[in-house]
Structure 1
Amino acid sequence: MEIRELGHLVLYVRDLDRSARFYRDVLGWRQILPVPGPDGEREPRRLAVFNAPSGRTHHELLLIEVGEDAAAQPAGRRVGLYHFGLKIGTTDDELREALATLREAGTPVLGMSDHTATHSLYIADPDGNEIELYVDVPGVDWEKPEETIGVPAKPLRL
């Protein structure tokens, strides 16, 4: 077996409408389902499907509503997803634009890091799923990952 690429993410969310607005209106994903009918009716199962504006594949993000009474993610060290990364461009200027968009939308920035290979902003979606928004640093020698991946992060100033 050979893994060719990361295909898609599926997240459980408490409030589908709130989460869909975040991923669509703040992060800029293209919502492809559900497509409301003529009277605004929805599918019986509450889900939303998105792909990136590039249209790289059929879908990259699926949200499934589980309701407001769903258990929260435990805080601190735990087994499971830490965060997922979304490449948003190739320059710090694009990262600055993203930072301005996040601030305008009232989305708190949890951290900003220079990882040598990437420059990153960290945020959380409305349910606390952590997201890394990053740009690759130009000129990094990917043939020497020991020099770029896993090195201690430095503060990032944009």
Structure 2
Amino acid sequence: MTIRLDHIVLWVSDPIRSTRFYEEVLGLEPLRLEEFRAGGVPFPSVRVSGETIIDLMPATMAEALSSAPGTEGSAGHPVNHLCLSFSRDGYEALQARLEERGIAIPVTMKDSFGARGHAPETFYFADPDGNVIEARYYD
């Protein structure tokens, strides 16, 4: 089974300034910056590798994201959640293991944007310390 890091979400005060920093200082490619400036997407990202990105989420979105069932109190930390990308079989196996252990999957989403484009399905759950983890697969 192969598990890959898909993306990390960082809370930032100014996504455009942060995108410039990650581009100019770290040499990372900006993604969706013009769409963000135009109001078409809620945040820009930067590419770490062919499979991994960092989302630069406006800190002003923290309160709204902390209101999703199962995520109360999670938003506003320096890192909101980490996302792991699985094969579809690995994704389904993880889902089964979580259910077997009684670990809640409070949020499931369809067509979620990530490092490799749009994932057909994704779900969120928490580790024992309350850190939020997103699992996804790509076709």
Structure with the larger RCO, 1 or 2 (CA within 8 Å, 6+ apart)? 2
TM bucket (normalised to shorter chain) is: 0.3 to 0.5
Task: Give TM-score scaled by structure 2 length.
Answer: 0.41
Would you tell me which structure has more strand in proportion to its own residues? 2
